[in-house]
C-alpha cells in the first residue's frame, strides 16, 4: 500500500459490520474525488475481508466489539488491518475521561479521511502529550473548535447538544441520530475556543462510542449526560 490512502475504521460485533454501507459510501465518494475512481469492492466483499481480518486478530471465542481499519490507496489497493478489541460489547460511554488541550492547526488537503489527516492528528497528539494532556482539540484559523482527537466534537449544556458544522461522517451522523432519540435539542453552530468553558460537558464520538473529556485547557467538565447518548447509540443496533 502506498503512503497516500483513504481509511475508515469499522466496528464489528457478533459477525456484523456496523454502518458498513455508510463507511463504504464515504470511501467511494472520496476516492472518486481524489483518485478519479471508486472503491473496487462490493459490500459483500468488504464484509468478508473485514470479518476475516477480525477473526485473525481476535482470540477465539471473543465476545467483545472488534475494530478493523479498511484502507484504500491511490493505486486502488485495499487493505484491512485489525485495530483492537473493546472492553465493551457495542458502543460505550468509555470509562477513560482524558484531558484535552486546544491546538490551532489546519488539515492538509481538506477534511477527507486521508493519510495526511491521520498523520496531522498523530502529530497533534504528540503536542498534546507534551502539554500533559491526551487529546488534541483542533481549532481552525478563526479559533473555533472543530474536532477532538480527530473525531466529531460535541458540547452539552442542559438538554442542548451543540456541534460545529462539519462534513458528514459515519460517527457524527450516528451520534446525532442517537441524541435525537435521547431527547436532546441539536444546534449546529461554530464553537469558539473561548466559549467552551461555558458548557457542562465536552465529548467526542468515534468507532468505539463516546469519550467524555475531563478537562480542556485546564477547565473541568462533567461526564453525566453523554452516557445517555452512548446508550442511545447502542440502542440503534438491537441484537
Q: What is the pLDDT of residues 207-222, one digit of tens each?
A: 999 999 999 999 999 9
Q: What is the mean pLDDT of the chain?
A: 96
Residues 69 and 49 sit within 8 Å (Cβ to Cβ): no
Which residues in the chain are classed under CATH 3.20.10.10? 92-235
Half-sphere exposure of 36 (CA within 13 A, CB side): 1
Q: Which residues of 195-209 are buried (b: 16+ CB within 10 A; e: fewer)?
A: ebeebebbbbbbbbb
Look at the domain 5-85 and name its fold: D-amino Acid Aminotransferase; Chain A, domain 1 (3.30.470)
Looking at the chain, which residues constitute the CATH 3.30.470.10 domain(s)? 5-85
pLDDT in tens, 101-114: 999 999 988 899 99
CATH topology of domain 92-235: D-amino Acid Aminotransferase; Chain A, domain 2 (3.20.10)
* Residues ≥6 apart with Cβ < 8 Å to 218: none
Residues 6 or more apart in contact with residue 119 via CB below 8 angstroms? none
- Percentage of the chain lying above the pLDDT 70 cut: 100
Residue 239, pLDDT > 70, answer no
CB atoms near residue 43 (< 10 Å): 14
Report if pTM > 0.85. Answer: yes
Amino acid at each position: 500500500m502506498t503512503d497516500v490512502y483513504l481509511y475508515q475504521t469499522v466496528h464489528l460485533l457478533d459477525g456484523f459490520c456496523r454502518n458498513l454501507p455508510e463507511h463504504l459510501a464515504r470511501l467511494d465518494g472520496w476516492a472518486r474525488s481524489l483518485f478519479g475512481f471508486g472503491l473496487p469492492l462490493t459490500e459483500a466483499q468488504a464484509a468478508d475481508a473485514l470479518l476475516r481480518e477480525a477473526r485473525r486478530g481476535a482470540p477465539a471465542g471473543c465476545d467483545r466489539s472488534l475494530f478493523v481499519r479498511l484502507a484504500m490507496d491511490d493505486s486502488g489497493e485495499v487493505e484491512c488491518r485489525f485495530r483492537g478489541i473493546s472492553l465493551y460489547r457495542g458502543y460505550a460511554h468509555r470509562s477513560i475521561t482524558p484531558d484535552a488541550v486546544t491546538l490551532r492547526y489546519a488539515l492538509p488537503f481538506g477534511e477527507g479521511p486521508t493519510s495526511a489527516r491521520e498523520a496531522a492528528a498523530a502529530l497533534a497528539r504528540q503536542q498534546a502529550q507534551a502539554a500533559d494532556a491526551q487529546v488534541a482539540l483542533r481549532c481552525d484559523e478563526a479559533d473555533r473548535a472543530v474536532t477532538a482527537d480527530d473525531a466529531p466534537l460535541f458540547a452539552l449544556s442542559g438538554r442542548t447538544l451543540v456541534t460545529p458544522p462539519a462534513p458528514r461522517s459515519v460517527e457524527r451522523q450516528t451520534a446525532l441520530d442517537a441524541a435525537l432519540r435521547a431527547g436532546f435539542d441539536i444546534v449546529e453552530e461554530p464553537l469558539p475556543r473561548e466559549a467552551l468553558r461555558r458548557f457542562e460537558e465536552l465529548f467526542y464520538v468515534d468507532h468505539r462510542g463516546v469519550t467524555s473529556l475531563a478537562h480542556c485547557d485546564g477547565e473541568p467538565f462533567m461526564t453525566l449526560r453523554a452516557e445517555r447518548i452512548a446508550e442511545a447509540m447502542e440502542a440503534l443496533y438491537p441484537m
